[in-house]
Chain A
């Protein structure tokens, strides 16, 4: 499980991959919340190579999305249609708070719009 990021202009792209489950998720969740605090307007969190998303990960996504929104920015997610990660996002209603896209290019367009 790993988390990385790259910045271009006013956009920050955060990529989480591996299996975001109980073991070790706490540290990735904390890093995600911290990375999303950057004073960037648009945050794209790419989960398309993530295999599993536990509830603590959902919580970190929601906390981050709320923090980004509170400072006037926009956060969006990238997840593969039909994946277990997408199922978790939909089952928890996370997609009602954070827009989700199937491709990173669509997500980036929506985030900077």
Chain B
């Protein structure tokens, strides 16, 4: 323990009127933050003691990363500068793509072990506490959003499964589905512009309208009317400039007809038993953008054995960490691949996207809802 950190009762404090608030700068400490890999957002203070990073105990900072060695590297301070030193690890420690042995990290620099990336932060403790509070608020919002999501359907005329992996910053994705009546199934996915709790809460307000089976004066079985109604309710001018994209579909089970609208949203896709892919998209503006806009809808017949894939742009707008490429075309090719036994279709796709992009965590929410229409 550094004795200078203890309060000294004999110390004289000279107050200077108008001087910056004391403690704002002298309170700074060095931190390592996981920005990618095992537990993004985890933050460790680096002080007088040297810390070992590795896959198992007795390392001080443990990363669940198969590519990390048991004692992979150590970090500590020399002359109040943060160093990282490799401990003869099998896969090495990297800074900016270069293998290092010992390296002094400036604030903001990152190092990588296996597929885990650490960033060096040099910030005041007060700032860190404020950041933690925001993280806590985000965590609460994430839990709340998750509690609103529907259960997968595993009995009856159709089946659903889904994944929603929120980004560290919470991207504002939300989806839902329900039966409007015995023969009609409604499904939707929305994405609010921006991120954070504000975007998530706006998504919740919109979802609360969509969840209602009956809205006075609005036929929720008609996607164009539903979207036009939402647009009237949520103009950006009176909602903090927030806009949202929406895909909304209504499936009439006996006739196999799927009516849909996409409002500033990319297509959803219907994949039939022969793996033909049909894009379900109508060109419309974002909800909240143009007052009085009349949203158009389309419809398609779902052949027997077809599956509906509804997803957010976070599933294909990913910058791969492995130097590869990833886009909508590649995502659709993955969708058309064979399902895996004993694995939910949404989980198969999420796992494959992680493998092919070399990323465990994504910059935006990753939301995918799969509905087997029977």
Identify the A interface with B (CB < 8 A).
Answer: 19, 21-23, 52, 54-56, 58-59, 62-63, 84, 90-94, 96-97
Contact among B263, B285, B286, B364 for A22, CB-based, below 8 A: B364
Complex contact B193–A55 (CB within 8 A): yes
Inter-chain contact A22/B195, CB cutoff 8 Å: yes
Which secondary structure dominates where chain A touches chain B? helix
Task: Type the 1/0 row for B243-285, where 1 means its CB is closer than 8 Å to any CB of A.
Answer: 1010000000000000000011110000000000000000111
Report 13 cross-chain contacts, Cβ distance below 8 Å, ordered by A residue. Answer: A22-B169, A22-B363, A55-B172, A55-B243, A58-B193, A58-B286, A59-B194, A59-B236, A59-B242, A62-B243, A90-B283, A91-B245, A92-B286
Question: Does the CB pair A93–B286 fall under 8 Å?
Answer: yes
B: interface residue count bin: 20 to 34
Chain A residues positioned under 8 Å from B264 (CB to CB): 91-93
Interface assignment of B367: CB less than 8 Å from any CB of chain A: no
4 smallest beta-carbon distances between A and B, as pairs: A93-B285, A55-B193, A59-B193, A92-B264
How far is B290's CA from A62's CA once the two chains are assembled, in angstroms? Answer: 10
List 20 additional A-B contacts (Cβ < 8 Å) besides A56-B195, A92-B245, A94-B286: A19-B319, A21-B363, A22-B171, A22-B364, A54-B317, A55-B172, A55-B243, A55-B313, A56-B194, A58-B193, A59-B242, A62-B243, A63-B241, A84-B317, A91-B266, A92-B286, A93-B283, A93-B285, A94-B285, A97-B289
How many A-B residue pairs lie within 8 Å, measured between CB atoms? Answer: 64
Q: Is B36 an interface residue (CB 8 A)?
A: no
Could you say which of B236, B245, B263, B327 contacts A55, with CB atoms under 8 Å apart? B245
In contact, A62 and B195 (Cβ under 8 angstroms)? no
